[in-house]
Amino acid sequence: MAREVDTPILIAGLGNPGREYARNRHNVGFMAIDRIHERYAFAPFKTRFRGEVAEGSLSGRKTFLLKPMTFMNDSGIAVGAFAKFYKLPLNAIIVIHDDLDLVGGKMRVKTGGGDGGHNGLRSITSALGAGYRRLRIGIGHPGTKERVYGYVLGDFTRADEDWLTPLLAAISEALPKLAADDDAGFMNKVTVLLAPPKPAAPGPLHPKDD
């Protein structure tokens, strides 16, 4: 994918506004945006396009962070309005969202495709088309379709924090590669950052004293 250095990039994290939703599995996109905002020198969030927007730079490219405040099912209102105002091509839009089809702690980047039953993606696709990039953060599946609604609107558990906190930190650390359109390099760096440390090599053996 060719990089268009003069084209800004939009990174939109999906979630629901309000304190009661803040730790929900469905809000992991908001959590990722907040972690990125903390990691880099972005301006404070401002209310624009029915969302919270912060401006900064990654890999020498103007970068916007967006948290739609329209509630998940209408995410396309904010993302679509922003993208159309700045005349962004679809490959300059990255949407961070929860994914039931990936186990907790796994992450993938893809371009285009279906919405997989995700209402936020469905709304964005309706507004813009399907060719935008997606950063999928796995949250696992509760096992049956009937349990999905309560599961995604349930909070991450303490056990989840063991993989969630390192994953969000690794995504943030590797993000400049994604902003430079190096999706494979981004995924590789996240993998390296999350790899368990290798055990120290054993020291030299010393003969026992007689």
Token look-up 């996109």 returns 29
47, β-bridge pairs:
52
37 belongs to the catalytic site: no
Residues 6 or more apart whose CB falls under 8 angstroms from that of 168 comprise: 31, 32, 35
* Amino acid (one-letter) located at 201: A
Classify the phi-psi angles of 65: left when phi > 0, otherwise alpha if psi is within -120 to 50, otherwise beta.
Answer: beta
Give the tokens for residue 165.
């906190």
Distance CA 40, CA 176 (A): 10
Residue 8 burial class via C-beta count within 10 angstroms: exposed 0-12, middle 13-18, buried 19 and up: middle
Catalytic residue among 26, 37, 97, 118: 26
Active site residues: 26
